[in-house]
Chain A
Amino acid sequence: GAVVSQHPSWVICKSGTSVKIECRSLDFQATTMFWYRQFPKQSLMLMATSNEGSKATYEQGVEKDKFLINHASLTLSTLTVTSAHPEDSSFYICSAGTVGFNEKLFFGSGTQLSVL
């Protein structure tokens, strides 16, 4: 299957700081990338959908000014958690696919964010 690389896998930061998470599709061009958040013992909840070269579409209840998404190229999307607070501590996972040609989505390995 296709490879999606997510970095970092683990980050600890102080409250009020910003954290950037990168998601790269290594062997295919991803026109669409999705960002999910997963709390312990919960399923993955979609936060936003990003299409290369356009603004991300956020799910209801997700603050777009807090969770900044950039999808500047067909192989890279970034999620920046701005002014992080302890309640933002969660497992963040990206997924990527080429909608229309290959309907499969592949996931990154996830980033565990802990805000102190």
Chain B
Amino acid sequence: QKEVEQDPGPLSVPEGAIVSLNCTYSNSAFQYFMWYRQYSRKGPELLMYTYSSGNKEDGRFTAQVDKSSKYISLFIRDSQPSDSATYLCGVRGSQGNLIFGKGTKLSVKP
């Protein structure tokens, strides 16, 4: 089993829709969880950062972590065409490195 599993999509939604992106992870020791957005041929950009379980909201973005089920989610409200990108979930490994999911490619149609 991979340490972080993420459905690669692609996911296509109409503008204004609520988007739900999800990942599961295998190691219950992970404590730090991140969501990155990556545009084509660019470095990932940190979107959301969560420590342990709970919710975190930032504008149209909400990150959720459920450590009991090892499940992390990112919700995007009122999605915009500019949100079209690949979204990577990541967990912080014991060595400090980031372990990424495969990334979900999102397309928001006008």
Contact = CB atoms under 8 A, between A and B. Distances in A.
B46 A43 contact: no
Contact of B43 (A1, A42, A99, A107): A107
Contacts of B60: none
Given A1-B46, A34-B98, A103-B32, A44 B41 contact: no
Nearest to A46: B97
> Which of B43, B44, B46 has the most A CB atoms < 10 Å from its CB?
B43
A104 B46 contact: yes
Range, interface on chain B: 20 to 34
Interface residues of chain A: helix, strand, loop or mixed (majority): strand
Given A1-B46, A43-B100, A105-B46, A57 B88 contact: no
A91 B51 contact: no
Interface residues of A, number: 25
Contacts of A112: 41
B96 interface: yes
Interface of A: 1, 4, 6, 32, 34, 42-44, 46, 49, 57, 91, 93, 95, 97, 99, 103-110, 112
